[in-house]
Amino acid sequence: MAPVRPQPEGAGSDSQLDFTWIDSAIGPARPERARLPVDRARALLLLGLLGAALVVLWLRFLANEPHLPLAWRLASNGAIELDSSSQPGLQRLIGQRLRTIDLPDGQRLVAHAALLPRSPRWIVDDADRRAFQAQRALIGQAVNQSHVVLQFESGQAQAITPQARGLAGLG
């Protein structure tokens, strides 16, 4: 008679559950459907449409941002001059040197190179960079005001209203 060898734990014991009865009760599993190229094309089309909608919303948001319809240039002596404007009332002031921009809340921005479109990262001196950024922050407040008054060195003053940039102004 052969000696009885002990079975390893779990082998043939009740510790293992038999789940085959579930498969027989439910029925055969549904076979996996192969993904067709049409499904992938639909998913890509949906993603493309979603991306296009997001771009349109982003452009609409940017086009509604207010700005002052002015372009400035640096004169030979370092003064800031009005270079161009889309407002007809400012056409006669093109070439005039700007002295200040007066805000309705009483703040006054002195004409500074911060009015010109450039990046503060190229300013080497930390104090100059902080002053430039503070001036840009004040200009940011100016475009959110109801109107601003441009004071020129010739003594002329012109009130302008910040306008939405529009799609044409995004370039």
- For residues 98 and 155, the answer to whether their CB atoms sit within 8 Å is no
Q: Please provide the DSSP assignment of 64-112 as one string.
A: TSEE-SEEEEE-TTS-EEEEEESSGGGGGGTTPBEEEEE-TTS-EEEP-
Residue closest to 86 by CA, chosen among 171, 142, 146, 161: 161
pLDDT tens for 120-152 read 888 888 998 888 888 888 888 888 888 889 999
CA distance 137 to 144: 11
pLDDT tens for 47-77 read 999 999 999 999 999 998 888 888 888 888 8
pLDDT of residue 162: 87
Phi, psi of 138 (to 5 degrees): -65, -35
pTM for this entry: 0.60
| Higher pLDDT among residues 16 and 45, named by residue | 45
- What are the boundaries of each domain within the chain? 67-170
Mode of pairing for the β-strands spanning 98-102 and 80-85: unpaired
Q: Which three-class secondary structure state does DSSP give residue 145? A: coil
Domain 67-170 carries which CATH code?
2.30.42
